[in-house]
Amino acid sequence: MRHALGLRFLSSLLFAAALVTSVPAAAQDASVIVLGLTSIEGDDEYARNLTGAIRNQASRVPGWQVSDREVTLAQMSLAHGCGDVPDVECLRQIAATLNAQRLLYGTVRRQAGDFHLTLSLFDAETGHIDRTVEQTLSSRRTDIDDLREPARTVVTQLSGPVTGALRIASNAPGATVSVDGEVAGTTDGEGGFSMPAIAVGEHAIEVSAPGRDPWTGTVTIARDTEMTLDAELAESTGGGQHQDGGDGPSINWAGIALIAAGALAFGGTIYSWARLEAINSDPQYRAYTESFRMTYDPMRGGNPPSTYLTNCSAAAGGDTLGGRADAGAASSVADLCSEGDTLEVLQYVFLGVAVAAAGTGAIFLATGVGESGGSEDEAPSVTVLPSFSPEGGRITARVRF
């Protein structure tokens, strides 16, 4: 009897120990809920199938504890009084109600005969939308089995590490490129090398080739941004490495150049504002505009035009406004309107570049990124290339150390 009691007590201890050791591993898993997708055009069955495929793939992500609870984004938005597109505060409330640390949510709409999926990952702990991905899906693949592969693609994109991109341009074809002490590859026949996905943060870069001094430097990778480094390897003289510094005082050329570029862009913004104000105050422009109103505004005794017309479109068409203006005035006003339209766009482009360049320059100065010693080598330079599209914008920074 004592032996039986002893074995039972030992078994209880082992079971308790197993429970204790399993707690830390479980505690590391983030609770995730996949909200049912919202179909803009009412393709509810397709949305349910796609939601199921996404939930299945999300359950395979290491570190995620995905709930089987089926609740839709539309239901939770209605319950919390959110709009059609829930904001961060609304998402935080939904996550608290569902006791979830992460929310996967999105919409699906028809687009050119296919389906377009927009899927986002919300982190309730940080209060930020971590990432959003978009995917076009064939309308011929509507069954849940057909949707497993596209679901795997979008879930992988959302759950993967936050990355940027790195491109290296060098004068040494076949050179070895190392990142943080690990060989990452070799440059191509033109001395180029690219890493489409590299973890966000600071990395030590080394480029080495036989017969040349190794080039070393550091680069800070930002999320969804491509950084380009120019690595010029000097002919080997036995003097050691070519680094991104010298023997003189440290000068942050990159930060200075970015702030200078921001100042120039802001100057362009100020010029655009001043010129637009000058156009609006131009006597000939004001006189033509007043004549336009007298001619076409019923409130001033005029006759409304048969089609939509503005003072600028009237001037562009050479409208003399029933004799109130001559052809020369119409031509001059048309030129002013054309210039004004251009400046309307440029003022926002200049302002966006100014904020991006100056902000990045301030970060460089504060963190020391881009510092260079006073050597006889060519001074570092920074090129900021903004690009804009209807879907958003992107900034590519090219840094030369």
For the chain, the structural domain boundaries read 25-159, 163-243, 254-395
Whether the CB-CB separation of 238 and 364 falls below 8 Å is answered with no
CATH code linked to domain 25-159: 3.40.50.10610
d(CA 56, CA 170) in angstroms, rounded, equals 45
Tokens found for residue 127: 């209060």
| pLDDT, one tens digit for every residue, the chain (401 residues) | 444 444 444 444 444 444 434 434 444 688 999 998 988 888 889 889 998 999 998 999 888 999 988 888 888 888 888 877 788 899 999 999 999 999 999 999 998 888 999 999 999 988 888 888 888 888 887 787 888 888 888 888 888 776 778 999 999 999 999 999 999 899 999 999 988 878 878 999 999 999 999 999 999 888 778 889 999 989 887 655 555 544 445 677 777 888 888 888 888 889 988 988 998 888 888 888 888 888 877 776 667 676 667 888 887 888 887 788 888 887 888 898 898 889 888 888 888 888 888 888 788 777 766 665 544 444 555 565 665 544 444 556 565 55
Q: What pLDDT was estimated at residue 319?
A: 82
Whether the CB-CB separation of 74 and 84 falls below 8 Å is answered with no
Alpha helices, H only, 80-161: 88-98, 148-159
CATH ID of 163-243, from 3.30.230.10, 3.90.550.10, 2.40.50.150, 2.60.40.10: 2.60.40.10
Whether the CB-CB separation of 242 and 380 falls below 8 Å is answered with no
d(CA 325, CA 331) in angstroms, rounded, equals 10
Whether the CB-CB separation of 39 and 107 falls below 8 Å is answered with yes
d(CA 69, CA 220) in angstroms, rounded, equals 41
Work out the end-to-end distance of the chain between its first and last CA atoms, rounded to an integer number of angstroms: 80
Q: What pLDDT was estimated at residue 394?
A: 54
- Establish whether domains 25-159 and 163-243 are of one fold: no
Q: What pLDDT was estimated at residue 312?
A: 86
Q: Structure pTM?
A: 0.40
CA 183 to chain centre: 28
Closest CA to 151 of 114, 119, 103: 119
Phi, psi at residue 230, to the nearest 5°? -100, 110
Q: What pLDDT was estimated at residue 297?
A: 73
Closest CA to 115 of 161, 150, 145: 150
